[in-house]
Amino acid sequence: MIIGLTGGIATGKSTVSRLLQKRGFPVIDADQVARDVVRPGEEALAEIVRVFGEDMLKEDGTLDRKRLGVRIFEDDEARKTLEAILHPRIRARMLEAIQKIETISPYPVIVDVPLLFETGWDRLTDANIVVFAPPDVQKKRLMARDQLSEKEAYERIQAQWPLEEKVKRADWVLDNSGDENALAREVERLIEHWHAAGFIHDKEKNGTCSGREKG
């Protein structure tokens, strides 16, 4: 079984990913794969330089992610061009990783994809989790995490799909409006539900899920 994991920026998706990994679930992180495909010597990096210019590279030949990020946030066409370069390569590597894990793991494979619905990854998953936080909480967390102004944080949130649209497409919604302990309890309830539903093929105690689900 393949379960997609997504959310909005600064909603706590990475925390959920880490909590699931601690419980033994194999997680394939699209962000990490995205970093891997733009390492020096990779085709994607060469294409980015060809399209966006040599100034996208740092002195050591690695991608200047911050400079590229500024470039695409200012230009929707540039963002779409970058996605066309990266997404097919990311998808190919993730599918290869999924195939390897599926043969050996008793747990569902978690694919952690920030743009799960936007890029059509949900067509390849069996079910999906959305990590939710209210917009004001999102903004405060993003400002603190990335040292952004309120305006910058707002622009980054607005550049994504509305979180409410993702929630509508979710099979399970984890509410991260509180602290990490509250989120961890949400994750444990979800895992209990997976046990009860037979998604996990081991001998741990079954339980039920009391978290929110899409009706």
How far does CA 87 lie from the centroid of its chain? 13
Residue 13 labelled as part of a binding site: yes
Residue 14 labelled as part of a binding site: yes
Residue 6 labelled as part of a binding site: no
Task: Assign residue 71 a region (left: φ > 0; alpha: ψ between -120 and 50; beta: otherwise).
Answer: alpha
What's the angle, vertex CA 171, arms to CA 165 and CA 176, rounded to 5? Answer: 70
Specify the length of the chain in residues: 215
Residue 210 labelled as part of a binding site: no
Residue 12 labelled as part of a binding site: yes
Residue 11 labelled as part of a binding site: yes
Q: Please answer whether residues 166 and 130 qualify as being in contact, where contact means their C-beta atoms are separated by less than 8 angstroms.
A: yes
Tell me the pairing of strands 109-112 and 127-132: unpaired
For the annotated binding site, the residues are 10-15
For the annotated binding site for ATP, the residues are 10-15
